[in-house]
Amino acid sequence: MDKPLLQVQHLTMEFGGLVAIGDLSFEARRGEITALIGPNGAGKTTVFNCITGFYKPTKGMIHFTNHDGSEFLLERMPDFQITAKAKVARTFQNIRLFPGLTVLENMLVAQHNKLMKASGFLVLGLFGIGGYRQASAESVELAQYWLEKADLMDRADDPAGDLPYGAQRRLEIVRAMCAGPELLCLDEPAAGLNPKESLALNELLMDIRSNTGTSILLIEHDMSVVMQISDHIVVLEYGRKISDGDPAFVRADPRVIAAYLGVDDEEVETVLTDVGDAKVIEQLDTAR
Ligand SMILES: Nc1ncnc2c1ncn2[C@@H]1O[C@H](COP(=O)(O)OP(=O)(O)OP(=O)(O)O)[C@@H](O)[C@H]1O
Ligand SMILES: [Mg+2]
């Protein structure tokens, strides 16, 4: 059988005395959407930062296998090589677009490296050497392809900062897709979205999963997104794994329900409704 795309083994990340991630092992399989969930401060973003080379883990291994069989130990690689060689792309918890550039320009900047190579590093590009034009046309085509998918073509010439929030999120995702990643890591893409935007996001992610070679690792608090689109869910609490399985398994796991009872009081009911635990909601109601 195919080796899993991502194998995180005994990953530990300490900040001074704080253990942000403690002995975490999990896998993300090719062609799947794997969700990483857990209460605030559980260590989810830190896992992303280790996978993408922003942090050097205190201990552990992050084994990555591309579709062509090439293998990488991500914890030993600098971030730019993780992007370029292993082909891991990410988005951030806070949107990082160029708000003053147009939507299309944001898509082209993402392909900057390819353009630079084709243009003989800028100077030749200025003279419009054929290779530059070629790459440029290709890049525009690729940008248009993904803008269509994200339902953003009609906004291509507008500044990215003028788009509604949900559209900006989708733009970030398709911008990352221009690099043709093997793994796309999304840090809370549904945060702050309204239900319609959340649905559009779900559709885009399902499309990526089904129609490209890109697998997805998703950090998300919005359970309507997580439960609907994930093939596999890993649950963290205080940097440790407390559950790992398919959505049906995880939503019924008492450890998960207990972990979510630890969230702010006003969020408890939403979370329980989202994970669909009617019995616990009933108990809460009678306890009032
Ligand atoms: N660079 C850092 N220096 C010190 N502590 C850090 C650093 N990065 C993260 N932490 C700590 O590690 C823990 C995990 O943080 P992390 O951001 O990974 O959580 P999270 O699960 O992404 O939370 P949220 O859902 O709020 O985004 C927190 O206690 C956080 O304060
Ligand atoms: Mg986070």
Q: What is the pTM of this model?
A: 0.85
Handedness of CA 167, 168, 171, 176 (dihedral sign): negative
State residue 120's pLDDT score.
45
Fold of 1-87+180-288: Rossmann fold (3.40.50)
**Which residue puts its alpha carbon closest to atom 28 of ligand 1?**
41
Terminal-to-terminal C-alpha distance of the chain = 52
- Is 220 close to ligand 1, i.e. is its CB under 6 Å away? no
Domain spans of the chain, in order of start: 1-87+180-288, 98-179
From the CA of 60, how far away is ligand 1's center (Å)? 18
**Which residue puts its alpha carbon closest to atom 11 of ligand 1?**
20
Atom of ligand 1 nearest to the CA of 93: 27
- Is 51 close to ligand 1, i.e. is its CB under 6 Å away? no
Residues of the chain with pLDDT under 70: 1, 112-135, 261-288
- Is 77 close to ligand 1, i.e. is its CB under 6 Å away? no
The predicted-structure confidence for 23-72, as pLDDT tens digits, reads as follows 999 999 999 999 999 999 999 999 999 999 999 999 999 999 999 999 99
